[in-house]
Amino acid sequence: MRGAEFAWDAARPRALIMGIVNVTPDSFADGGRYLEPAVAAGHARALAAEGADLLDVGAESTRPGSPGVSADEECARLLPVLERLLDGPPCPVSVDTSKPEVAEAALSLGAHMVNDVTALGGGPDLARVCAAHGAALTVMHMQGTPRTMQVAPHYDDLLGEVRAGLETAVRTAEAAGVAPDSICVDPGIGFGKTVGHNLTLLKRLDALRPLGKPILVGPSRKSFIGALLDQVPPAERLEGTLAACVMAVAAGAHIVRVHDVAAVRRAIRVAEAIRDAAPA
């Protein structure tokens, strides 16, 4: 990936951990904690030291009901962090944005990947920017927009519709010139999904296997965990996050996007050791 290679052992594949860095005042789990560029860059380096294989830096909350921010505002939050981080990045850096102009600015600074929660819903321009920079791209499924997505999520065929939406995005990305081996797919946990939809998607990640791309999932601290645990707040969703990540890896996830890197890394290592144990 754009000069950054992962140590990948095909015989004993291990899931990669993407650490979340939210440079926002209003993210659902950690809004306002990392708005100061030096604090955000420090947090990113701390996540890398905890064992993150890659980082995902975002400057626009996509929580349910979020109104979104302008490209200028997104760049004003993001670029000072990237300037500090990409001057000797501790690991590859993804940028969580759907705006081509924000992606262009971030990739020009040396970011390695773009994470688009709209699965190219804004058209192919974002993919063209990635292609021009030789960057990787994650496309994530969402039904509706952050403002409306949780009003009444409905699917006639959950797995088929999510897979088809991602397949369309993958085709668009490849047609725009993104390298086929630099595209990840994500079912979009919490993005236009009921609790039941989220659980089924996490259980049935095999439904995305025919796409032939690495599967990324982001269950970290999300509201479906709160709903299963008497509405515990995001700060108390660590155990639920660990369970979701372990089950996702068992179901075929290649990358998990999380806030709690050290804890998730430990949980996944143990789960993978059991999965790979010698037969009796």
Give the span between the Cα atoms of 190 and 63, in whole angstroms: 9
Residue 151 C-beta: closest distance to ligand HH2, Å: 17
Please tell me whether residue 89 binds ligand HH2 under the rule CB under 6 A: no
- Integer angstrom CA distances of residue 210 from 146, 175, 199, 248, 261: 28, 19, 20, 17, 29
Please tell me whether residue 216 binds ligand HH2 under the rule CB under 6 A: yes
In the residue annotation, 221 being an active-site residue is answered as no
Are 246 and 198 spatial neighbours (Cβ–Cβ below 8 Å)?
no
Contact pick of 27, 98, 150, 172 for ligand HH2 (by CB under 6 A): 27
Give the span between the Cα atoms of 60 and 98, in whole angstroms: 10
Contact pick of 47, 61, 126, 182 for ligand HH2 (by CB under 6 A): 61
Please tell me whether residue 58 binds ligand HH2 under the rule CB under 6 A: yes
DSSP for 74-140? HHHHHHHHHHHHSSS-SS-EEEE---HHHHHHHHHTT--EEEETTSSTT-THHHHHHHHHT-EEEEE
Region of 1-9, 59-67, 128-136, 271-279 interacting with ligand HH2 (CB under 6 A) = 59-67
Please tell me whether residue 257 binds ligand HH2 under the rule CB under 6 A: yes
- Pattern 113-132, binding to ligand HH2, x per CB under 6 A? --x-x---------------
Give the span between the Cα atoms of 77 and 37, in whole angstroms: 8
Give the span between the Cα atoms of 226 and 224, in whole angstroms: 5
**Tokens 């959950």 -> residue:** 158
* Residues that contact ligand HH2, how many (by CB under 6 A): 21
Residue 91 C-beta: closest distance to ligand HH2, Å: 17
Contact pick of 189, 205, 248, 256 for ligand HH2 (by CB under 6 A): 189
In the residue annotation, 14 being an active-site residue is answered as no
Give the span between the Cα atoms of 69 and 133, in whole angstroms: 24
Site for ligand HH2 in 132-171 (CB under 6 A): 138, 140
Give the catalytic positions in this structure. 222, 257
**What residue ranges bind ligand HH2 (CB under 6 A)?**
20, 22, 24, 27-29, 58, 61-63, 96, 115, 117, 138, 140, 186, 188-189, 216, 218, 257
